[in-house]
Structure 1
Amino acid sequence: MYRPSAYHGALIALCAFAASPTFAQETPTAYLERIEAIDDSGPAIHAVVAVAPQDAPAAKGKARGPLAGRAVLVKDNIETRDMPTTAGSLALKDNATGRDAPLVAKLRSAGAVILGKTNLSEWANFRGEHSSSGWSAIGGQTKNPHALDRSPCGSSSGSGAAVAAGMAWAAIGTETDGSITCPASVMGIVGFKPTVGLVSRTHIVPISASQDTAGPMSTSVADAALILNAIAGSDPADPATAEANRHKPDFTVGLGKVGLKAVRVGVLRRQVGDMPALTTLFDTALTDMKRAGAQVVEIDYKPDERLGEAEFTVLLHEFREGVNAYLAGTPAAIPARDLAGLIAFNKAHAAEELRWYGQETFEQALAATDPAVYAKARADAQRLAGAEGIDALLRKYDVDVLVAPTTSPAWPIDPVLGDHFVDAGAGTLAAVTGYPHLSVPMGAVEGLPVGISFMAGKWDDAKVLRIGAAYERSRSAKLAAPALRNWAQ
């Protein structure tokens, strides 16, 4: 029920948060009150779909560890023992497995309070064409706290919106291609996609064995690094993580001290796009880095047009195999046991599931069964994004990181026609290669946040975080405060 006094108090607290570079840690109770005031009612952001029972030692202030008492929300495609894991789909509304994904277990072990589950673009935005980011049949449409009528991007929409609106200390998102970094960019927070294989994917609803990873979403690079310390590491159940323990330093070391002096920053100039205000903001970020001692190197890179097609082919094959394996292990009451069953379920519940957009991607994945086609697409994608992409650019221009705007400012929410992406950013390179990608707020265009991306090579996570934190300290642009109203108002 809407309570004006609670909403007013939450808005005052949010304004105080927005004026500060970091969000002071609060009690789980305070976060739950803010969720009730601005997520369940008031502006009704629809970021949180479930609240966990708060009876664990961490919630009572008795936890110990590097994340002791810190409230963390988890995207609703990641299993937790105390809440269903739905991926936003009515087919999985009763998917209560009673188990924690290893990354959730690690958060709890580090003392974190798992506050609840966040909404997402249904099936992590891998179901059909013309979807609206942040919509799911389970959670409805998540809104952008900076402009309620503008997209939160996706698919980690709820995680990003919750952090931006001060409903948790931090959140966990997942990314296949842009699903952490894009919401972080358009909602003015930090989002980090680690090297694929640094964080376990066990008990996470899959899209791609070669590109999926979970990662932190927070209000500072330091907080993202602190979370990464907790969740990184090898998992015997996830072969991709076999080398993780060998590439797991303390990611917080040097974040507050290491600067940009002599750091060589490669600017992906073509990937800035053609929006003048965005270009100006990005050039201000480059000036800030130069002032801090960085050497800025202009790069003229034109990606091969075949990359997108190769990536999509890979995702279709890996999704079919991954989701079939996942559904086979769900509780017996789940009505869909494989991808064909999901397609049938959606047709049977078309009024709820298919009103706004279809399931063309599901149907294409069901037919993607030729191993030779998959093998060629996988080899092509890795070559174009890696050997002829990030790896080649880092080597040719002798740079430490590649930078570009993460994406454009947020576009209007449009469930009828779907998302309206503007051509800016280069995150697909890091997504396909599985390399680290950090988005840090760099300012706003007409009050709409935009992030700057930092990308580097495999296992360069610590370096990317250090450079991103150094930029964060040097940033001169003013960050926008979440307005909790429509942009046009």
Structure 2
Amino acid sequence: MSTILRQRLSPALAVLIVATWIGCEPATPEYSDDLAYSVTERSLHQISDDLASGRTRSAIVTGGYIARITAMDGDLHSVIAIAPDAMAQAAASDARRAAGESLGPLDGVPILLKDNLDMVGMPTTAGSFALENNFPERDSEVARRLREAGVVLLGKANLSQFAGFRNTASFNGSTVGGSPKNPYDTTRSPAGSSSGSGVATAMSFAAATIGTETGGSIVGPSSVNGIVGMKPTIALVSRRGIVPISLNQDSSGPMTRSVADAAMILDVIAGTDSEDPWSKDADRYLRPYTEALDSNALQGKRVGVIRPPESETDEVLDLFEAALDVITAEGAQLVAIPADELVDPRPEMRAILLQDFKVDLNAYLKTTPSSVDVRTLADLIEFSREDPRENMHTMDYWDESEATTGGRSDDSYLAALESGRRLTRDEGIDRL
């Protein structure tokens, strides 16, 4: 195991008191910041404003997050590792501000990256020991943009291994990082695949986190952990330097404490990247997202509603209806969608992902340093069958993907793409 991966977090210093009721804050052990500035429950916007005003410094903020992670994450398993140069990054930010050379509103703000995004100085493992020596020579485009904006890249968040695309019984953790736990109730799932990112944001382990999504992996953990998740339109944010599932569906986006925080990050990470050809038109759709925030945005908007089944608990049903009341009070029109009218695109999605995974993963592995022995999906399968740390989980998705032609021109693949787009567009959101 690499040196950085051995820097796992120390055991929790206090017992986690679990909250088991709906609507409460994540439970916190007996812990208080020993610094003059507490990062607990602070939004990215608040921290940015406090850094700009001189109320605090990045070194204090970064140290506060590291202290919380060290004290509280031992049982939650949301963070794989802290960047060894995190405090040096913070000191550099403080020096820039002192010299009147701030790089902008995110300068000095600590953010965690899901461990399938390349970041110089740390391995990108995707949660697998097969990639423990994958120290990228370049930042992913997302990390590059954040670093250029002065962000303190605090470390790597845990995830469902390979973003949940290993087997049909995928769990929300990884062999490298363990199994993240829901901070509201540790007996419940934090959802995946951006499980660590969701838990870390809810627990104030960073000002925000970056997740990825192929089919629910940002919005699911955000919902379950009580935070805001933004899944950008595919290729609005570059996927270069991200361990892929499918370039047809992969996206990367912010997981934050507020909508305003998500907009602040999107302002930085969105845009065209010549090394992600799918993003060639992204700049045409850019807008100043933070400036576009509008408290009256729901006025006159149509919002589709799929009500939960009556078998759901009374608490969930009541909270769901209360949320609808808030939406209508803000001027939105609710459009009921009967459950029997829903279309299921999952068969098409499965066919697309199985074909794409082999193509896109093999392309990513070609970019990894020579220290990575796994160069193809076939190599990954062989490693995971032979390594005792990896062979306790099945690999049916990988086996099925390896059996495909490894191209994007098959008639069956093209038919699945066409059908999937029809079901999700013409017969999906566009019908509203």
TM-score by length of 2: 0.83
State the match for 2:89 in structure 1. Answer: 56
Identify the match of residue 178 of structure 1 among 216, 223, 226: 216
Instruction: Report if aligned partners of 2:238, 2:271 keep a CA contact under 8 Å in 1.
Output: yes
Could you tell me the percent identity over the aligned residues? 41
Q: Could you tell me how far 1:64 is from its partner in structure 2? A: 2.4
Q: What pairs up with 1:446-485 in 2 under 5 angstroms?
A: none
Identify the match of residue 80 of structure 1 among 107, 115, 119: 119
CA distance in 2: counterparts of 1:284 and 1:5, whole angstroms: 36
Cα separation, partners in 2 of 1:210 and 1:10, compared to 1, 3 Å: farther
1:32 aligns with 2:66: yes
1:141 aligns with 2:213: no
Deviates more, 1:50-59 or 1:372-381: 50-59
Instruction: Report if aligned partners of 1:58, 1:112 keep a CA contact under 8 Å in 2.
Output: no
CA distance in 2: counterparts of 1:107 and 1:295, whole angstroms: 37
Instruction: Report if aligned partners of 1:163, 1:189 keep a CA contact under 8 Å in 2.
Output: yes
Q: Could you tell me how far 1:347 is from its partner in structure 2? A: 0.8
Q: Could you tell me how far 1:388 is from its partner in structure 2? A: 1.3
Q: Could you tell me how far 1:152 is from its partner in structure 2? A: 1.1
Q: Could you tell me how far 1:220 is from its partner in structure 2? A: 0.3
Instruction: Report if aligned partners of 2:44, 2:207 keep a CA contact under 8 Å in 1.
Output: no
Question: What amino acid maps onto 1:184 in structure 2?
Answer: S
Question: What amino acid maps onto 2:398 in structure 1?
Answer: F
Instruction: Report if aligned partners of 2:33, 2:64 keep a CA contact under 8 Å in 1.
Output: no
1:300 aligns with 2:331: no
CA distance in 2: counterparts of 1:4 and 1:97, whole angstroms: 33
State the match for 1:212 in structure 2. Answer: 250
Q: Could you tell me how far 1:256 is from its partner in structure 2? A: 4.9
1:240 aligns with 2:271: no
1:261 aligns with 2:304: no
CA distance in 2: counterparts of 1:9 and 1:204, whole angstroms: 35
State the match for 2:107 in structure 1. Answer: 68
Identify the match of residue 389 of structure 2 among 336, 342, 352: 352
Question: What amino acid maps onto 1:354 in structure 2?
Answer: N
Cα separation, partners in 2 of 1:290 and 1:49, compared to 1, 3 Å: same
State the match for 2:135 in structure 1. Answer: 96
Q: Could you tell me how far 1:82 is from its partner in structure 2? A: 1.2
Question: What amino acid maps onto 1:51 in structure 2?
Answer: I
Q: What pairs up with 1:244-393 in 2 under 5 angstroms?
A: 244-269=282-307, 274-275=311-312, 276-300=314-338, 302-305=341-344, 307-349=345-387, 351-355=388-392, 357-369=393-405, 371-393=410-432
Cα separation, partners in 2 of 1:190 and 1:320, compared to 1, 3 Å: same
Q: Could you tell me how far 1:333 is from its partner in structure 2? A: 2.2
Question: What amino acid maps onto 1:50 in structure 2?
Answer: A
Deviates more, 1:244-253 or 1:367-376: 367-376
CA distance in 1: counterparts of 2:91 and 2:106, whole angstroms: 9
Aligned length: 384
Cα separation, partners in 2 of 1:252 and 1:365, compared to 1, 3 Å: same
State the match for 2:22 in structure 1. Answer: none
CA distance in 2: counterparts of 1:50 and 1:4, whole angstroms: 17
Instruction: Report if aligned partners of 1:17, 1:23 keep a CA contact under 8 Å in 2.
Output: no
What is the DSSP-based 3-state SS (H/G/I as helix, E as strand, rest coil) of the residue aligned with 1:255?
coil
Instruction: Report if aligned partners of 1:58, 1:68 keep a CA contact under 8 Å in 2.
Output: no
Q: What pairs up with 1:144-183 in 2 under 5 angstroms?
A: 144-183=182-221
Cα separation, partners in 2 of 1:289 and 1:326, compared to 1, 3 Å: same
CA distance in 2: counterparts of 1:326 and 1:247, whole angstroms: 27
State the match for 2:76 in structure 1. Answer: 45
CA distance in 1: counterparts of 2:14 and 2:121, whole angstroms: 31
Question: What amino acid maps onto 2:89 in structure 1?
Answer: A
Structure with more strand by fraction: 1
Q: What pairs up with 1:391-430 in 2 under 5 angstroms?
A: 391-393=430-432
CA-to-partner distance for each residue in 1:288-308, whole Å, 9 max, x for gaps?
A: 122222222323352334x21
Question: What amino acid maps onto 1:56 in structure 2?
Answer: Q
State the match for 2:269 in structure 1. Answer: 231
Q: Could you tell me how far 1:66 is from its partner in structure 2? A: 2.1
Where structure 1 has 5 or more consecutive residues not aligned to the other structure, the ranges are 394-489
Q: Could you tell me how far 1:125 is from its partner in structure 2? A: 0.6
Question: What amino acid maps onto 2:31 in structure 1?
Answer: G
CA-to-partner distance for each residue in 1:336-363, whole Å, 9 max, x for gaps?
A: 11011111001111x31132x3000000
Q: Could you tell me how far 1:329 is from its partner in structure 2? A: 2.0
Q: Could you tell me how far 1:268 is from its partner in structure 2? A: 2.9
Q: Could you tell me how far 1:178 is from its partner in structure 2? A: 0.7
Where structure 2 has 5 or more consecutive residues not aligned to the other structure, the ranges are 1-9, 16-28, 48-59, 97-101
State the match for 1:487 in structure 2. Answer: none
CA distance in 2: counterparts of 1:122 and 1:3, whole angstroms: 24
State the match for 1:405 in structure 2. Answer: none
Question: What amino acid maps onto 1:364 in structure 2?
Answer: E
Q: Could you tell me how far 1:16 is from its partner in structure 2? A: 9.2
CA distance in 1: counterparts of 2:309 and 2:294, whole angstroms: 28
CA-to-partner distance for each residue in 1:161-184, whole Å, 9 max, x for gaps?
A: 111111000000000001111111
Question: What amino acid maps onto 1:362 in structure 2?
Answer: W
Q: Could you tell me how far 1:149 is from its partner in structure 2? A: 2.1
CA distance in 1: counterparts of 2:143 and 2:322, whole angstroms: 38
What is the DSSP-based 3-state SS (H/G/I as helix, E as strand, rest coil) of the residue aligned with 1:252?
coil
Cα separation, partners in 2 of 1:10 and 1:160, compared to 1, 3 Å: farther
What is the DSSP-based 3-state SS (H/G/I as helix, E as strand, rest coil) of the residue aligned with 1:152?
coil
Instruction: Report if aligned partners of 1:152, 1:186 keep a CA contact under 8 Å in 2.
Output: yes
State the match for 1:113 in structure 2. Answer: 152
Cα separation, partners in 2 of 1:37 and 1:328, compared to 1, 3 Å: same
Question: What amino acid maps onto 2:271 in structure 1?
Answer: G
CA-to-partner distance for each residue in 1:259-315, whole Å, 9 max, x for gaps?
A: 43323322234x66741432321111111122222222323352334x211110000
Q: Could you tell me how far 1:192 is from its partner in structure 2? A: 0.7
CA distance in 2: counterparts of 1:338 and 1:21, whole angstroms: 41
1:9 aligns with 2:48: no
Deviates more, 1:376-385 or 1:56-65: 56-65
Question: What amino acid maps onto 2:133 in structure 1?
Answer: D
Q: Could you tell me how far 1:22 is from its partner in structure 2? A: 7.7
Question: What amino acid maps onto 1:352 in structure 2?
Answer: R
